[in-house]
């Protein structure tokens, strides 16, 4: 039998040989019989099988590092048992395929988890290690982190591919819907999840049975929408929570196993330090963005695919810089934690990066124009993107052109996207509209709610009603009630049709005491449809108003209008843009758009060529769609691509989003704008006079504010009373933008005085 010497065996042999040498030279007395006995003992040991000491040492290391897979009380483990424990390591955390036996024994495979451990011990255990550096892929990964779904794309040697996250069976045939990965987390056992999450930095032993993500989480939610215990355990507003953490919005989640209710803290900036490994502790705040990014990373960095170090992300145009930095930091942590710990201390890890790259609508334009066969020209093809997503609607305007001689010859660019403006409707999103439908349905059934003491939630941009304080709450019961009714109304929003023509919904809701109460609600289908038309029309008008502003200096003769986002597939949206069949009743609403556009541009507006969202093709699941086109387009804008992106708006504000509000006051019953959206930062502008030491500040995020027809009390306007101190006679109120959602206010005798610092009543205000 072939034998393997341990380090102690080699030490004994050397000692014996040294003794023999000493005896021959006569340097010291030695008994030949003892030397002979030692040699005989060593010869006997050499003939025996290895003692497994190194294997035991390796096992101790693995027990400490992977306690979730190997119980701490295991003292001895056979090679077969060890392989069995690690065979499901990817499956137990992310439902990835089971490892086959060759992963442990084949010379061309091996396990990242074993790299750096004692080679002799691994040989004794019958497994192989693999250096993760050997599996690094020289590819870019693009991530479109969305409100409803997230798309992940990567460049595989020039072929742009998409990834499925959290599907039940990765062996199932691919469908286009698989690549729109729901931005959802489902908490089964919060404490059981949190302990390993806070105990191990890299690839912690978090179990899928304790927390699930994406497709399976949404499947469980949709198939248990009448069960409050499941609905309350599902977190669907991860991205909105990150964006709106500054306005008091808090999220609560209650796990399924223990009914453990937790309120999530606001998102904080926890930036990893370049070149240093991450550390975790039991006192770390829980960050759902980081956990979701970790799940994405486990699938991206699957050992059957390889390891990726370069990640690029898109953001909505209206995302403030500080929020983007927090989200990027969370993704850096989550994606880094999905990598093998044995890679982190190697020099190749220095290449790890997670960066912002282009806005979501700009990335969509990069792929849509190409798919539509629209070629750039020297003068530039004017384009406008209407990206109707789950949380917001983003606008992007610019020219797609050929490079100048300098750009082409000296810099090597082949095509150029030149952005002249951007904008959006902060509350026009598919999920927001669905929340409004539920809210209006509850209001329509207020007597049922009164009788059963049912509470519910109000959308951020909705108006309350007399006596609403008795029904509008931020409790878990109120949130769950709204989510359950939203689930029942989803089909109506997505298709325009109700599963029940009578409009009657029988549903179990939660009373104030948390007990289930069977309720029968009458859904006002006609009123809800009217609301959708009116609200979407406001968004379309905002789009054209923002378009006119963006192209004010050079109005083009023709504009390619690109509809993006799944919500743009709504028949109402397509009706306002004139994309329906002439026989469809909703096509008639196009005349309202035409009338509005004529009022904006006069009788000779630009020619608008409207393109519906890119359609899915089940025969080519990687083909860009109205949703996946953002991530796939982003790959075309990554460093090294031949496309130059020039963003004039970003240059004006030093990398941050532009000022996102219209600021002013009410004059003669209408909103008068003094400080417009996109105004330069740090420049004082007069807002109005002080009356009896009070100034009523009015603001909006809707581009139609520039049209001058928003009346006092309009749902798109918000008012804030400012009480001022001191003698304000002869003083006026001045404001200046300091960030996308913040302004400084003061009183001063004149604009010159304000610029010279001769001010009073200075304060900083965040606009919600």
Residues 305-319: pLDDT tens digits? 999 999 999 988 777
User: pLDDT tens for residues 52-62?
Assistant: 788 888 888 88
Return the higher-pLDDT residue of 62 and 244: 62
User: Residue 657 has what pLDDT?
Assistant: 74
User: Residue 4 has what pLDDT?
Assistant: 42
Contacts of 344-349 spanning 24+ positions with Cβ under 8 A: 344/202, 344/277, 345/277, 346/132, 346/133, 348/133, 348/136, 348/309, 349/309
Please determine, for residue 486, whether its predicted confidence score (pLDDT) is greater than 70: yes
User: pLDDT tens for residues 723-756?
Assistant: 999 998 989 999 999 988 899 999 999 989 999 9
User: pLDDT tens for residues 666-693?
Assistant: 999 999 999 988 888 999 999 999 999 9
Residue partners of 57: CB distance under 8 A and separation at least 6: 118, 121
325 vs 354: CA distance, rounded Å: 11
On average, the pLDDT of the chain sits at: 88
Determine the 3-state secondary structure of 141 from DSSP: strand
82 vs 113: CA distance, rounded Å: 12
Q: What is the 3-state secondary structure (H, E, C) of 100-137?
A: CCHHHHCCCCCEHHHCCCCHHHHHHHCCCECCHHHHEE
Backbone angles phi, psi at 434, to 5 degrees: -65, -35
pTM reported for the whole predicted model: 0.85
* DSSP code string of 67-109: TTTS-TT-----HHHHHHHHHTHHHHHH-PPPPPTHHHH-TT-
78 vs 495: CA distance, rounded Å: 58
663 vs 660: CA distance, rounded Å: 10
Closest C-alpha to 230, from 279, 180, 281, 188: 188
User: Residue 1 has what pLDDT?
Assistant: 36
Mean pLDDT lowest among 78-82, 284-288, 660-664: 78-82
Please determine, for residue 324, whether its predicted confidence score (pLDDT) is greater than 70: yes
Please determine, for residue 45, whether its predicted confidence score (pLDDT) is greater than 50: no
Q: What is the mean pLDDT of residues 345-351?
A: 95
pLDDT band at 235 (very low <50, low <70, confident <90, very high): very high
User: Residue 658 has what pLDDT?
Assistant: 79
* Residue in the structure block whose two tokens are 């989480």: 217
Q: What is the mean pLDDT of residues 82-109?
A: 92
> What angle do helix axes 476-495 and 430-444 make, rounded to 10 degrees?
110
* Residue in the structure block whose two tokens are 């990598």: 339
53 vs 678: CA distance, rounded Å: 70
**Which H or E element spans position 597?**
helix 590-601
CB distance 388 to 148 below 8 Å: no
Q: What is the mean pLDDT of residues 400-426?
A: 89
User: pLDDT tens for residues 60-93?
Assistant: 888 888 887 887 777 677 888 888 889 999 999 9
Break the chain into its structural domains and give their ranges. 7-47, 53-130, 136-351, 359-428+532-652, 430-530, 662-766
Q: What is the mean pLDDT of residues 176-184?
A: 95
User: Residue 245 has what pLDDT?
Assistant: 56
User: Residue 274 has what pLDDT?
Assistant: 86
**Percent share of the chain, pLDDT over 70:** 91
Number of H helices and E strands in the chain, helices first, is 25, 27
Determine the 3-state secondary structure of 423 from DSSP: strand
Mean pLDDT lowest among 244-258, 277-291, 394-408, 492-506: 244-258
For residue 762 the two structure tokens come to 């200075």
Return the higher-pLDDT residue of 557 and 427: 557
pLDDT band at 654 (very low <50, low <70, confident <90, very high): low
* DSSP code string of 527-591: HHHHHHHHHHHHHHHHHHHHHHHHTTTS--SEEEEEEESGGGGSHHHHHHTT-S-TTSGGGGGHH
Q: What is the mean pLDDT of residues 479-493?
A: 92
Closest C-alpha to 141, from 616, 533, 639: 639
User: Residue 27 has what pLDDT?
Assistant: 47
Backbone angles phi, psi at 576, to 5 degrees: -65, -25
Q: CA dist 687 to 663, 694, 697, 736, 747, Å?
A: 8, 13, 8, 10, 10
Q: What is the mean pLDDT of residues 596-622?
A: 93
CB distance 621 to 163 below 8 Å: no
104 vs 37: CA distance, rounded Å: 41
For residue 585 the two structure tokens come to 């009743």
Q: What is the mean pLDDT of residues 192-210?
A: 95
User: Residue 249 has what pLDDT?
Assistant: 60
Do the strands 415-425 and 643-647 form a parallel or antiparallel pair, or are they unpaired? parallel
CB distance 754 to 737 below 8 Å: no
User: Residue 40 has what pLDDT?
Assistant: 52
**Segment of 115-124, 673-682, 698-707 carrying the highest mean pLDDT:** 115-124
Backbone angles phi, psi at 402, to 5 degrees: -80, 155
User: Residue 502 has what pLDDT?
Assistant: 74
pLDDT band at 701 (very low <50, low <70, confident <90, very high): confident
User: Residue 423 has what pLDDT?
Assistant: 81
Query: Do 136-351 and 359-428+532-652 agree at the fold level?
Result: yes
CB distance 427 to 316 below 8 Å: no
User: pLDDT tens for residues 203-221?
Assistant: 999 999 999 999 999 999 9
Please determine, for residue 46, whether its predicted confidence score (pLDDT) is greater than 50: no
User: Residue 6 has what pLDDT?
Assistant: 44
Please determine, for residue 22, whether its predicted confidence score (pLDDT) is greater than 70: no
User: Residue 39 has what pLDDT?
Assistant: 53
For residue 242 the two structure tokens come to 């990150």
Mean pLDDT lowest among 156-165, 264-273, 645-654: 645-654
Q: CA dist 572 to 47, 383, 568, 579, 593, Å?
A: 84, 22, 9, 10, 12
CB distance 230 to 242 below 8 Å: no
> What angle do helix axes 525-550 and 476-495 make, rounded to 10 degrees?
80
For the 359-428+532-652 domain, the top CATH level (class) is: alpha beta
Return the higher-pLDDT residue of 184 and 425: 184
Q: What is the mean pLDDT of residues 323-350?
A: 96
The CATH topology of domain 136-351 is: Nucleotidyltransferase; domain 5 (3.30.420)
* Residue in the structure block whose two tokens are 């286009």: 176
154 vs 637: CA distance, rounded Å: 12
């Amino acid at each position: 039998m072939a034998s393997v010497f341990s380090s102690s065996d080699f030490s004994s042999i050397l000692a014996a040989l040294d003794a023999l040498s000493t005896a021959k030279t006569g340097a010291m007395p030695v008994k030949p019989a003892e030397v002979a006995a030692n040699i005989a003992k060593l010869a006997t040991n050499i003939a025996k099988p290895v003692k497994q000491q190194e294997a035991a040492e390796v096992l101790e290391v693995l027990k400490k590092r992977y306690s979730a897979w190997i119980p701490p009380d295991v003292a001895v483990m056979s090679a077969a048992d060890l392989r069995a424990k690690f065979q499901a390591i990817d499956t137990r955390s992310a439902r990835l395929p089971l490892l086959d036996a060759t992963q442990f024994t084949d010379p061309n495979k091996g396990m990242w988890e074993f790299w750096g451990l004692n080679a002799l011990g691994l040989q004794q255990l019958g497994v192989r290690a693999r250096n993760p550096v050997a599996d690094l892929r020289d590819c870019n990964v693009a991530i479109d982190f969305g409100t409803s779904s997230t798309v992940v794309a990567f460049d595989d040697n020039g072929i742009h591919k998409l990834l499925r996250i959290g599907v039940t069976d990765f062996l199932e045939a691919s469908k286009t819907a698989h690549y729109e990965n729901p931005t959802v987390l489902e908490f089964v056992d919060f404490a059981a999840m949190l302990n390993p999450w806070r105990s191990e930095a890299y690839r912690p032993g978090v179990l899928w049975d304790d927390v699930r993500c994406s497709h399976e989480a949404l499947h469980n939610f949709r198939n248990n929408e009448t069960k409050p215990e499941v609905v309350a355990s599902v977190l669907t507003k991860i991205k909105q929570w990150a964006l709106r953490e500054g306005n008091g919005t808090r999220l609560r989640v209650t796990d399924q196993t223990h009914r453990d209710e937790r309120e999530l803290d606001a998102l904080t900036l926890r930036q990893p330090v370049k070149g240093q490994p991450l550390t975790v502790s039991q006192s770390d705040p829980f960050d759902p963005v980081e956990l979701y990014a970790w799940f994405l990373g486990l699938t991206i960095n699957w050992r059957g695919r390889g390891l990726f170090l370069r990640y690029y992300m898109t953001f909505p145009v209206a995302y403030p810089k500080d929020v983007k930095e927090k989200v990027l930091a969370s993704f850096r942590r989550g994606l880094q934690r999905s990598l093998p710990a044995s890679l982190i201390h190697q020099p190749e890890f220095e290449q790890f990066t997670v960066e912002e790259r282009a806005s979501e609508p700009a990335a969509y334009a990069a792929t849509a124009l190409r798919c539509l066969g629209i070629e750039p020209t020297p003068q530039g093809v004017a384009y406008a993107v209407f990206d109707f997503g789950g949380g917001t609607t983003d606008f992007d305007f610019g020219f797609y052109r050929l490079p100048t001689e300098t750009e082409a010859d000296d810099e090597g660019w082949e095509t150029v996207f030149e952005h002249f403006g951007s904008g959006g409707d902060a509350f026009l999103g598919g999920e927001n509209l669905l929340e409004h439908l539920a809210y209006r349905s509850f209001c329509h059934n207020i007597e049922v709610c009164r009788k059963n003491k049912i509470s519910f939630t109000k959308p951020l941009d909705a108006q309350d009603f007399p006596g609403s304080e008795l029904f509008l709450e931020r409790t878990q019961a109120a949130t769950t009630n709204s989510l359950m009714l939203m689930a029942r109304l989803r089909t109506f929003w997505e298709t325009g049709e109700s599963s029940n023509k009578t409009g009657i919904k029988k549903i179990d809701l939660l009373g104030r005491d948390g007990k289930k109460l069977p309720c029968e609600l009458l859904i006002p289908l006609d009123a809800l449809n009217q609301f959708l038309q009116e609200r979407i029309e406001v968004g379309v008008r905002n789009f054209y108003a923002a378009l006119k502003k963006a192209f004010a200096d050079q109005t083009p003769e023709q504009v390619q209008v690109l509809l993006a986002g799944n919500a743009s597939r709504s028949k109402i949206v397509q009706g306002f843009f004139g994309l329906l069949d002439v026989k469809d009743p909703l096509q008639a609403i196009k005349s309202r758009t035409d009338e509005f556009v004529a009022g904006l541009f006069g009788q000779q507006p630009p020619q608008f060529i409207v393109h519906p969202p890119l359609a899915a093709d089940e025969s080519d699941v990687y083909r860009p769609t109205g949703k996946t086109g953002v991530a796939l387009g982003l790959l075309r804008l990554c460093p090294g691509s031949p496309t130059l992106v020039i963003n004039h708006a970003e240059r004006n504000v030093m990398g941050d989003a532009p000022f996102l509000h219209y600021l002013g006051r009410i004059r003669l019953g209408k909103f008068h704008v003094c400080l417009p959206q996109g105004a330069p930062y740090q420049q004082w502008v007069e807002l109005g006079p002080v009356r009896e030491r009070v100034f009523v500040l009015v603001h909006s995020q809707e581009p139609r504010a520039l049209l001058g027809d928003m009346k006092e009390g309009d749902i798109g306007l918000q008012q804030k009373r400012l009480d001022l101190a001191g003698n304000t006679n002869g003083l006026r109120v001045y404001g200046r933008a300091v960030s996308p959602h913040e302004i400084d206010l003061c009183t001063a005798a004149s604009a010159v005085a304000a610029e010279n610092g001769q001010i009073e009543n200075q304060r900083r205000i965040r606009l919600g």
